[in-house]
Structure 1
Amino acid sequence: MPSSFLATSPIAQEIINRDLEECSTSDDEDYGQPESDSEPDVNPEEVPRHGSDSRRHSDSRRLSDLRRSSMQESAPLAFHPTGIAYGTPFLAVAPNAPLQAVPTEHDIEESLAAERSLLRDNHILPPKHRRNPPKDTLLRRVYKRIFSTKVPEDERPSETTPLLESIYEYPPQTPGVEDIQFRWEVAVANQVIKTTWQREAKTLIQYSAPLIVTFLLHYSVTLGSVLTVGRIGMLELGAINLATMTASITAYVPVQGLATCLDTLCSQAYGSGHKHLVGLQAQRMTYILWLLIPPIGLLWFFSEPILASVVPDKETVRLAALALRILIFGMPGVAAFESGKRFCQAQGLFHATTYVLLIAAPLSFFLNWFFVWQMDWHFAGAATAMAITQNLIPILLALYVYFFEGRECWKGFSKKAFHNWGPMVRLALPGMIMIEAQFSVLEILTIAAGQFGPASLAAQSVLVSVTSTAFNIPFPLAIAASTRVANLIGANLVGAARTSAKVALVAACLVGLFNLTMLTVFRHQIPLIFTDDLTVAGIAAQGMLVCAVLEVFDATAAVSHGLLRGIGRQSIGGYANLFSYYFVALPVSLGTAFWLKWELAGLWFGLTCGLAVVTAIELIYIYRADWQTAVDQAAERMQSDAANNNHK
């Protein structure tokens, strides 16, 4: 099945071309457009320097030129994980993002560092620091066996390998960019680059650690309200879960799905040198998303009779409807943030979101405490705190862009943002439909939990919060694995990609076992963090045992789906999720919950079975997949992109 990148690329190009046609020559001059569209408009003074070494920055600029001239031969090795929406991920659901984005200056620097590291690991470049040979002790051998990233001596390239003369000689100084790039291209062409599990483990940790922090920070905005409401009462805890799940299905998930098209549009606009189009695309998507607010707001405002038809407890429904009416005021911020973070990601400013959340997340806890307990607004105070935080986050992001970095892509508000909506909507709809279809199952199960009474619905809120928090560890790992495998595939390193995939799957199992252990050992203590009600805590503790087993499959399914994205087969994972949710998880959940009388534990047992099926399908496909075909398709995409750039 074709990847979403191949399917959406022509539409993305159509949008860019239409915008360029509407921009007059004088407009281009005002925006600072380059005379040649084939070269990005990069002002060296505007590019943030990572380190004080000016030679390193100069090398990255020269490598950028080399990359443009050799893009058809291999892809940049190190990319930030782009195209990922920091949101509230549940149960192996991940947006389908482009396999590669346009490299920024920071990406190019990381590419050089990653290639240099692999060349050193393969003994093709000298070590970073010249040292005297250490004594060959038992401790030294054990240390090298466990932690050394070097390819074993018996696997290093032979001296007959046609790479470079004097390849093992120690030069007086570190080779320059051209020398590194030349050795890399020759080594890749001769298929002598190998990797070790230690190198891949180190790389996955470096990629995933900051993402884990960012995802946990973002989810804490929702978690803070749940923790606060749980201290008010059982009904309130169930109501906030019903409200947030309804809000996710009817608004947050569609908004997130629609905004994923900016992953392609903004990165292509930035990479082609039309920086003003980055802001224009983000501006246009924000207006499109804001256009959804009136109908969604109308639905939320009159949601009480709708929820009452599926949830029997009237007080729970009344509180959930109250929360939804308050959350209407947070919708503009949610939409603006979805566009804003992609505006920053296209420029390589991935840390911008983290800095903003470092301020917003603690502030959300303070607002919950202030409104709920100090102002005595009780349940309404928690929803108010959430709505205020949702609007505050994009404001903080805009302030960061204005005062620190990223302003060169914002040229002010433009009437052109109200044009060219059709192609953007066509590009955005497939991603939105896929994510919405996957998330809808969770709303069905939340409604089903309400049939067992307020206590079960409150316990469902605890289980959703715990599993969602736990998922913020394997999900970033899946993003890191997807990025690394895609980079290695693009560089024609099939063996290294397979090694990285194996390391990622082992890491997923370890994460899953860690989550299983934590949920099993502390199954009685964790619910008490959310609520003082012993009845709710008891029901949640029973369900926690099922959720503990679910965590193993949840982690492996997430990473497996990430690997499928890395080899360009994300559609396989999407369809596997849909099949397992609707034809396995949903029937088993409803059957065990109502027919076998397992109630809440039965609902989560069905989800566990569904994720087990997803894991099996994806692992079998990954094992049987022809990875060389993925390499060939990646090369075709790069040739197509290069041809498009030359045509422009």
Structure 2
Amino acid sequence: MGSINRDDGRNITQPLIEDSNGQIPNKDEGIDDNRDQQKNLSTRVWVESKKLWHIVGPAIFSRVASYSMNIVTQAFAGHIGDLELAAVSIANTVIVGFNFGLLLGMASALETLCGQAFGAKKYPMLGVYLQRSWIVMFLCCFILLPMYVFATPLLKLLGESDELAELAGEVAVWMIPLHFSFSIQFPLQRFLQSQLKTGVIAWVSLATLAIHCFISWLFVYVFQWGVVGIAVALDISWWVLGFGLFLYTAFGGCPESWHGFSMQAFYGLWEFVKLSAASGVMLCLENWYYRILLLLTGFMENAEITIDALSVCMNINGWEMMIPLAFFAATGVRVANELGAGNGKAAKFATKVSVATSSIIGIFFCVLIIVFNYYISLLFTSSSAVLEAVSDLKYLLALTILLNSVQPVLSGVAVGCGWQAWVAYINIGCYYVVGLPLGCVMYWVFNLGISGIWAGMIFGGTAVQTLILTIITMKCNWEKEAEKARLHVQKYSIDSNSDEVS
């Protein structure tokens, strides 16, 4: 028993607990241990945050710059007229957007393959993966081409007015070059990100945005080409972005991973197609989900104003979405790199830091949208009717932004681990079996309008999908995933050796 002296002069006798060596521990030692653990945790968070932001920072910048080209396009269209804004919105958000989601998802297969190969230091494999992705995605662009060619009858079939469908169809045809630029640019971005060469993507994106602003002004206000000029400006800008990244890659920017064009890119295409298809389905189901809102507005009264208001909301959401998508890419790279190097615990810790950081940013923008919604909307339209309609949707927009700050990060974990096929099934169930039908019920049964559709899609789809991905990530056996990544890299390394690549 030990005695403790109190300041009031009384003694209190209490047992002193001995450690395993029979020694009485010093209370200050326990405090020091706790402080050391906290300091160690803070250091780990700081180190991981620096690694994460090395990718996230330039990725946010490049994605915001790239998406801003679409925002500039929408702004020019909005100041031409309401019909032109609606037509460009439908062509860019629905026709291009549907294909954009699929091709972006297919390119994300490189985040798994290149990320794990880079972590395992199998550098020559990255260049072969890049060329395989180009081949697969270019062929996919041809398969998707009818959506542009037959955009007008397709939009009429979906309920859009004849005038709007015809103008949107004309814009869509002029955006075919933009469609093919995705097959070059998206794989290049993933290829460079996997090697942590994110700075060049940011600088090329900034230069391209400046070019786009100039040629958009030139074609619309000087040459008076209207919506055709808007589409051509967007085509040119996206090809400039793709060529800029290719020139960096081909002329010395990636000496370890780019050894020129190789016939080996044509080998093992089927395995690559399967992973690309799973990645494409996973991401496009997410990307298409809210775009369906624009299609459903064609069945509503005063559809033009509703489309304009919703397109403004989708543009604001899409603009902010570049930040979670940057975390999506960075998380996929960090998880893939660590798993490829055999560090399961590091991959788990990277996931925690990424989710926490993105969530904090999401809360900030959620508040920003609620407080400054009217002023942000003025960037896209000067119509008082559209501004009022956007204001009515601000809480749903804010909630969407909040949920989207978490969900893409968890999808990034899935990409880093190679779970694309499983997540594709989850997306089908949450989005199209639960969320979309619930939204339609809230509109047609309860007569809640566009707000009802959007609310049903949020709570029935996005929220449920985020919850499921959270549970899967929490229950993940990271050491097992690291072993699977090692075997995966080894398998492709053997294929590469047999093809004289590495």
- Asked if these proteins are the same fold (TM beyond 0.5), I'd say yes
Match of 2:79 among 198, 211, 231: 231
Q: Report the counterpart of residue 22 of structure 2 in structure 1.
A: none
Matching of residue 618 in structure 1 with residue 469 in structure 2:
yes
Matches within 5 A, 1:398-413: 398-406=246-254
Matches within 5 A, 1:69-468: 153-155=32-34, 199=46, 204-248=52-96, 250-263=98-111, 275=124, 278-345=126-193, 347-406=195-254, 421-452=269-300, 453-468=303-318
Match of 1:511 among 343, 361, 366: 361
Q: Report the counterpart of residue 579 of structure 1 in structure 2.
A: 429
Q: TM-score, normalised on structure 2?
A: 0.79
Which amino acid in 2 is paired with 1:154?
Answer: D
Q: Does the Cα contact within 8 Å between 1:519 and 1:548 map onto a contact in 2?
A: yes
Cα separation, 1, equivalents of 2:262 and 2:447 = 59
Q: Does the Cα contact within 8 Å between 1:485 and 1:566 map onto a contact in 2?
A: yes
Which amino acid in 1 is paired with 2:428?
Answer: L
Q: Does the Cα contact within 8 Å between 2:309 and 2:387 map onto a contact in 1?
A: yes
Give the stretch that moved more between structures: 279-288 or 528-537: 279-288
Cα separation, 2, equivalents of 1:206 and 1:417 = 30
Offset of 1:500 from its aligned partner? 5.6
Match of 1:469 among 304, 307, 319: 319
Matches within 5 A, 1:549-588: 549-563=399-413, 573-588=423-438
Offset of 1:316 from its aligned partner? 1.4
Q: Does the Cα contact within 8 Å between 2:112 and 2:415 map onto a contact in 1?
A: no
Give the stretch that moved more between structures: 408-417 or 347-356: 408-417
Q: 1:616 to 1:336 in 2, by over 3 A?
A: closer
Matching of residue 542 in structure 1 with residue 409 in structure 2:
no
Q: 1:272 to 1:232 in 2, by over 3 A?
A: same
Q: Report the counterpart of residue 117 of structure 1 in structure 2.
A: none
Offset of 1:463 from its aligned partner? 0.9
Offset of 1:354 from its aligned partner? 1.8
Q: Does the Cα contact within 8 Å between 1:238 and 1:459 map onto a contact in 2?
A: no
- Give the 3-state SS of the residue equivalent to 1:476 in structure 2: helix
Q: 1:401 to 1:443 in 2, by over 3 A?
A: same
Cα separation, 2, equivalents of 1:274 and 1:154 = 42
Cα separation, 2, equivalents of 1:198 and 1:416 = 41
Cα separation, 1, equivalents of 2:139 and 2:428 = 29
Q: Report the counterpart of residue 3 of structure 2 in structure 1.
A: none
Q: Report the counterpart of residue 21 of structure 2 in structure 1.
A: none
Cα separation, 1, equivalents of 2:255 and 2:50 = 34
Cα separation, 2, equivalents of 1:486 and 1:317 = 43
Q: 1:210 to 1:346 in 2, by over 3 A?
A: closer
Q: Report the counterpart of residue 175 of structure 1 in structure 2.
A: none
Offset of 1:447 from its aligned partner? 0.7
Offset of 1:254 from its aligned partner? 2.9
- Give the 3-state SS of the residue equivalent to 1:373 in structure 2: helix
1:223-267 per-residue CA deviation (whole Å, 9 max, x = no partner) reads: 221121111111122212211233345532333333344445556
- Give the 3-state SS of the residue equivalent to 1:524 in structure 2: helix
Cα separation, 1, equivalents of 2:327 and 2:133 = 29
Cα separation, 1, equivalents of 2:342 and 2:40 = 10
- Give the 3-state SS of the residue equivalent to 2:308 in structure 1: helix
- Give the 3-state SS of the residue equivalent to 2:187 in structure 1: helix
Offset of 1:303 from its aligned partner? 1.9
Give the stretch that moved more between structures: 595-604 or 479-488: 479-488
When you count helix as a share of all residues, which structure comes out higher?
A: 2
Q: Does the Cα contact within 8 Å between 1:449 and 1:599 map onto a contact in 2?
A: no
Offset of 1:467 from its aligned partner? 0.6
Cα separation, 1, equivalents of 2:450 and 2:230 = 26
Q: Does the Cα contact within 8 Å between 1:516 and 1:548 map onto a contact in 2?
A: yes
Q: 1:466 to 1:367 in 2, by over 3 A?
A: same
Matching of residue 607 in structure 1 with residue 457 in structure 2:
yes
Q: Report the counterpart of residue 486 of structure 2 in structure 1.
A: 638
Q: 1:491 to 1:424 in 2, by over 3 A?
A: closer
Offset of 1:456 from its aligned partner? 0.6
Q: Does the Cα contact within 8 Å between 1:216 and 1:469 map onto a contact in 2?
A: yes
Which amino acid in 1 is paired with 2:33?
Answer: D
Cα separation, 2, equivalents of 1:613 and 1:488 = 29
Offset of 1:346 from its aligned partner? 5.4
Offset of 1:450 from its aligned partner? 2.2
Q: 1:632 to 1:296 in 2, by over 3 A?
A: closer
Q: Does the Cα contact within 8 Å between 2:426 and 2:465 map onto a contact in 1?
A: yes
Offset of 1:539 from its aligned partner? 1.0
Q: 1:152 to 1:234 in 2, by over 3 A?
A: farther
Cα separation, 1, equivalents of 2:454 and 2:141 = 32
Cα separation, 2, equivalents of 1:614 and 1:486 = 22
Offset of 1:446 from its aligned partner? 1.6
Cα separation, 1, equivalents of 2:95 and 2:407 = 25
Give the stretch that moved more between structures: 485-494 or 592-601: 485-494
- Give the 3-state SS of the residue equivalent to 1:439 in structure 2: helix
Cα separation, 2, equivalents of 1:273 and 1:497 = 19
Match of 2:374 among 519, 524, 547: 524
Offset of 1:373 from its aligned partner? 1.3
- Give the 3-state SS of the residue equivalent to 2:374 in structure 1: coil
RMSD: 3.6
Cα separation, 2, equivalents of 1:305 and 1:255 = 23
Q: 1:622 to 1:291 in 2, by over 3 A?
A: closer
Offset of 1:205 from its aligned partner? 4.2
Structure 1: any 5+ residue segments left out of the alignment?
1-150, 159-191
Q: Does the Cα contact within 8 Å between 1:438 and 1:578 map onto a contact in 2?
A: no
Cα separation, 2, equivalents of 1:416 and 1:572 = 29
Matches within 5 A, 1:54-73: none
Which amino acid in 1 is paired with 2:466?
Answer: T
Cα separation, 2, equivalents of 1:332 and 1:486 = 28
Q: Does the Cα contact within 8 Å between 2:417 and 2:485 map onto a contact in 1?
A: no
Q: TM-score, normalised on structure 1?
A: 0.63
Offset of 1:569 from its aligned partner? 5.7
Cα separation, 2, equivalents of 1:331 and 1:567 = 29
Cα separation, 1, equivalents of 2:443 and 2:423 = 27
Q: 1:513 to 1:152 in 2, by over 3 A?
A: farther
Which amino acid in 2 is paired with 1:428?
Answer: S
Which amino acid in 1 is paired with 2:398?
Answer: A
